[in-house]
Amino acid sequence: MRINLTSIYVDDQRAAHDFYTGVLGFITRHDIPLGEDFWLTVVSPDAPDGPELLLEPSGHPAVKPYRDALVEDGIPLAQFAVDDVEAEYQRLSAAGVVFTQQPTDIGMALVAVFDDTCGNLIQLISEKPA
């Protein structure tokens, strides 16, 4: 068993796509029209055949209260691994990304949390060598 696809709810698929590709650096894997929405996935350029992130429309009525509660409590909806949290923090901050938590040492890893502009908090993590 393995993870091939996971979803993140977004308010606007096109704006999310622009952010996730243009700012974060992911690449488009699928962009297929489905009525008013799209099957819109991105992947890491480091693993173009790896797991896909589906930029899922947030239209279901349960999504807004769920995401609002997570954001209010400062809980990230997703976590992305990076080699160097501090370097990504500097790069993304320079690109205008708003961080709700600056790089923080949590013992086994460094983490930082940013607002993805699409209704979610995202955590960056780089694990420390054992």
Mind listing the pLDDT tens digit for each residue in 17-52?
999 999 999 999 999 999 999 999 999 999 999 999
pLDDT tens digits, 55-95: 999 999 999 999 999 999 999 999 999 999 999 999 999 99
Place of tokens 């209260």: 65
Q: Residue 130: which pLDDT band, with cuts at 50, 70 and 90?
A: confident
- Give the CATH superfamily of 5-127: 2,3-Dihydroxybiphenyl 1,2-Dioxygenase, domain 1 (3.10.180.10)
pTM for this model (two decimals): 0.94
Long-range contacts at 84-91 (CB < 8 A, ≥ 24 apart) = 84/126, 85/110, 85/111, 85/112, 85/124, 85/125, 85/126, 86/110, 88/112, 88/124, 89/124
For the chain, what are the domain ranges?
5-127
Beta strand pairing status for 37-43 and 27-34?
A: antiparallel
